[in-house]
Amino acid sequence: MGERGDARRRAWVEVSLGALRRNAEALVSRLGGAKLLPMVKADGYGPGARRVVTALRPLDPWGFGVATVQEGVALRAAGATERILVFSPCGPLDAESLQTAKLEPAVTSLDALRAYAEAARKSTTPLRFHLEIDTGIGRAGLPWATRDAWLPILSRTLSDVPRLTLASTFTHFHSAETNAVETRAQWKRYQAVFSSLREAGLDPGVSHVANSAAVLRYPEYNAEVVRPGLFLYGGGRDKPAPESVMRLQARILDVRDVEAGWTVSYGATWVAPRKSRLATLGLGYADGLPVAASNRGQALVNGQRVPICGRVCMDVTVVDVTGLEHVVPGTTATLVGRDGLEEITLTELANTCGMIEYEILTGLGARLPRITAAERLAQGGAHEPA
């Protein structure tokens, strides 16, 4: 049924910060003392990085991870005071912004090391960096197998530039969800580099390796810090399953009765098999509902599953609500999340579309307002647990 207060919204994402915290707490309970380094890149995977940082701050994380300097600067502008790591390779022109915002870059190559060393020489404040080791992901990082070549350069640079500080050493697992043998091999390669750093007289700093899947599957790889991402936001296919954090919803804008043989949407790929009632939702692929959901996905309307009919359009999507009562313009449809006893999970939608959960989360469009359950209640919406 249509809710009060936010009735002017055509579509939105409702964020449960309570579920986000509980997902984080579920990981903390498995860590045996390791600290969290939550990944909040891509605007917190969708809910909003500022909100995520605020919600997780009481758990005393070791820091927060972003992908770009701009993401880190935006968090600083929003008032974040915690350690912020920038994980993607940064260009030499980013050095000033990094220092101004007190961000900590990942060093992924000798060129990056030289650039930050030069920036530290010119600065009066320390520049802390985090050393990435490429143990097999092949996209960035100093190669583990050639450490004898780059270790002397790293050692000399740190000796020559005292204000340049190695704060942590890390690597990325590429197949923690699917390949235990290769994950173990990466861990051994990483440990070999870590030992080599110590043998060279260097302090590797804090160690962090495990992503969400590794925390759940391989607790022996947790090290001192872990870097959860997807699990925090309600995704992943491990047990225990995380709580849903985001609910994707849209208003029904139009309801119409059609005869058998009526066609729907571009290409006329859906034909009414009988006299049918169709509802047009104010949500399309420009909002992040994948075109791949066409004729395959479902929505929840008044607690019942209804199929998507025809091709998902840029701004609207049609569903078959034949036989449902009390479906009128203004009624809420749920594309991801719970309605009554039914739930469409993030994983279900991703599987239906032949995608991964990350694509769904980060693909939710900018024109979708993000609201919390508390904000909905303040606007007069129905009560549900936060």
Indicate the residue type of 178.
Answer: T
Indicate the residue type of 188.
Answer: K
For residue 97 the two structure tokens come to 């912004």
Q: Is 266 noted as a catalytic residue in this protein?
A: yes
Query: How many contiguous H segments (helices) and E segments (strands) does the chain have?
Result: 12, 20
DSSP E strands, 190-324: 206-208, 225-226, 246-258, 263-264, 270-271, 276-281, 298-301, 304-309, 317-320
What angle is formed at CA 349 by the lines to CA 347 and CA 352, rounded to 5 degrees?
105
Strands 298-301, 246-258: pairing kind:
unpaired
CA distance linking residue 99 with residue 123, whole number of Å = 9
Residue identified by tokens 């701009």 is: 70
CA distance linking residue 28 with residue 386, whole number of Å = 20
Contact 244, 232 (CB under 8 A): no
CA distance linking residue 101 with residue 172, whole number of Å = 25
Q: Is 35 noted as a catalytic residue in this protein?
A: no
Catalytic residue among 35, 41, 116, 190: 41
What share of residues in the chain are helix, strand, coil (percent, to 5)? 35, 25, 40
Q: What are phi and psi of 97, to 5 degrees?
A: -65, -40
Report the C-alpha dihedral over residues 312, 317, 319, 325, rounded to 10 degrees.
170
Catalytic residue among 122, 188, 266, 275: 266
Most distant pair of Cα atoms in the chain: their distance: 80
For residue 334 the two structure tokens come to 């749920």
Helices (H), 63-146: 69-77, 95-100, 110-122
Contact 10, 250 (CB under 8 A): yes
Strands 332-339, 298-301: pairing kind:
antiparallel
- Known catalytic residues are 41, 266
